Amino acid sequence: NCVSVMAKVNRCGQSAILSSAELDRLFDVMTPRCRAALSICRYTASRISEALALKWENVTNGYIVLEKSNTKTKHTRQVPLQPRLQQELERWRKTQISEPVRTDWIFSRTDGSTTRPTPRRTIDHALRTACKRVGLRGVSTHTLRRSALTSASDKGVPLRHIQSLSGHASLDCLSKYLQVTDGHKRAAALAFA
């Protein structure tokens, strides 16, 4: 049985939350496909399944549009396109054999099929390989979502604003993603009147 409060081991527990520096170190050793796909998760707080379901037409007018047919809560979300994500997507686009059209998957299958997106296991495997190279444990594709949400919360972004981007059905659901450290607790205790 998996226990939700323990660190992630063998697909049980919660995935690690990484700092921006740890994420940068990890991204430096990723394959281009993995780096681009997980950049979407990192900079939109999306799930890997949502990122892999994107087509180039979902990157429009300064937003990433996560269509309701591909989200867990079945609600469309529009997340502003963060400049670092835009750079990653432009870099990824340049690696393509031919210029993709709007209806192409951003991450089409590595076998050349344009009718289906890259399978999740391809990104999972590439991420595990990168984690071994830099010595990180407890990391999964969900680490990017948890890290993004925690980072925004730590920077003082109101939870309801974060929730509008993450697509969580309630603040209670969102709170399970956020890491609370001893430092956070000390700061909160010092703020008590």
Which tens digits make up the pLDDT trace of 136-158?
999 999 999 999 999 999 898 88
Q: What is the pLDDT of residue 188?
A: 73
Mean pLDDT of 12-18: 85
Lowest mean pLDDT among 12-16, 87-91, 103-107, 126-130: 12-16
Phi and psi at residue 138, to the nearest 5°: 75, 15
| Banded pLDDT at 161 (limits 50, 70, 90) | confident
Report angle CA 15, 80, 138 to the nearest 5 degrees: 10
CA distance 71 to 74: 5
Determine if residue 77 is left, alpha or beta; phi over 0 gives left, psi from -120 to 50 gives alpha, anything else beta.
beta
pLDDT in tens, 67-93: 988 888 888 999 999 999 999 999 999
- CA proximity to 85, closest of 164, 139, 159, 165: 165
Give whichever of 104-113, 136-145, 157-166 has the largest mean pLDDT.
136-145
Q: What is the pLDDT of residue 5?
A: 42
Cβ atoms of residues 88 and 36 within 8 Å: yes
Burial class (CB in 10 A: 0-12, 13-18, 19+), 21: exposed
For helices 32-44 and 120-134, the axis angle rounded to 10 degrees is 90
Token pair in block for residue 48: 């890997």
Q: What is the identity of the amino acid at 126?
A: A
Q: What is the pLDDT of residue 58?
A: 96
pLDDT in tens, 23-52: 999 999 999 999 999 999 999 999 999 999
Mean pLDDT of the chain: 87
